[in-house]
Chain A
Amino acid sequence: MAKEEYTITVYTENQIGLLNRIAIIFSRRKINVESLNTSPSEVPGIHRFTIVIHEMEDIVRKLVRQIEKQVEVLKAYYNTSDEIVWQELALYKVPTSEITEKVKVERLLRQYGAKAVVIRKDYTVFETTGHREETDGLVKVLEPYGLIEFVRSARVAIIKGSRGFHEKLKEFESMAEGPELVENEFLAHQEEVFDI
């Protein structure tokens, strides 16, 4: 089994200390968190963590179960990159003199879909959103033109197949459980498994 990029989405109560509880599940196993974002979710009062790691699926599944085991976690999902729509935001600070004088820069910025957020006499801040390759690409391009600062946000992701958390929360509040809470990969191969 090869390592792959997985995006873990965790729906939680909004509780102090939960970030640490979730973070140490990774650090205890010496797994590097490549990106971590916390934000509100579609449901008022419910928080949403988006965590990106590079690991084997088997390990990711176990991590997700450990996360779900935490008292204040409602549900955790994991997805490969083709199962989600995701974006990252990046900011670039460049000397204004460079970009006003060199037409080529302006063309590049257009090409990368960058927007100016702040324009001052001494510097200009641009913003792009997109996938990692896109935001990284602009860094390389801007470096020769005196890139002063660069920063990129954590990933935010929408699960393509998800119908949102409103229904799920109702299940949790009524103590009922949907079928997806019980997963067993062998159930699809019953004939092989049950043949002694």
Chain B
Amino acid sequence: MTQPPDARAADTGVIHDIGYRGYTGPRLGRAHATRSLFVQSLRAAYGLGRSGRSKVLPMLLLGVVTVPAVIYVAVAVYMKRDELPVEYAGYLSDLGLVVSIFLASQAPVLLSRDLRHHTVPLYFSRPITRADYVRAKFAAMACAQLLLMAVPLLVLYTGALLAGMDFGHNTGQFLDGLAAAVLYALVPTSVALVIAAATPRRGFGVAAIMGYLVVSSTVAAVVVDMRGPSPGGSDAAQWTALISPNGLVESLVNEVFDLGSGFDRRHAPGAFGAAVFALVAVAMVAGSYRLLLRRYSRV
């Protein structure tokens, strides 16, 4: 029969030694923790280490961006052409929508879930600092994006080389494409992460990121058309690409590497334009990074 606590004899309590010990092994420290968070986030972006259902979407999108590259290579080999039917950087801007969907769907996976389940304070109770957290997440999302774009480029490149196409030309183009991929992986991603960090709701984050990316590029496209499709005189309208992260990168890459053709070619207007576009791109990334740091300084 249990008695109320104050009725029990005071001297029956015993402290048992059940063998708890302090941790005496090596401590891996802050840098290792940051690196682990980076690796875990990068894997999470592709659904690795998570449930099977969350692998479906990223893997599907990875397939969607890669399959056309395989088809292009197959067509070029079959038709015995001495050049790929597409430019490496142009391929990325053609599939920009799919890459944006990947970004919009996975950026909230990395950031919103931590906010929603209040795991962010748990991270910060460890040696990891707020800046480390932002750095790891930012790097993870950028790397995930870069990986998504590097895979089809590699398919195109190896396909072109195996088919015996010109090595120098393809290598140059491939490097241009990789530079474009790095820019695509930095500029739109930084903006998307700021949006994702602002909302703990995943669905809303996805819609907001996609809404911003798509609406800004549609507005830019409409304004370009508004000025009429005259090939020479449409330079002024090209400035509107500044509002759209994807358009900004596409225009900048086309101008700097002298790519693209046709009258609907997006390009930064002239050398001065290219400098301004580059500056805006840097400002976008740096500004977004600062905003992220500020966002997490008061979680």
A binds B: no
- By a beta-carbon cutoff of 8 Å, the part of chain A in contact with chain B is none
- By a beta-carbon cutoff of 8 Å, the part of chain B in contact with chain A is none
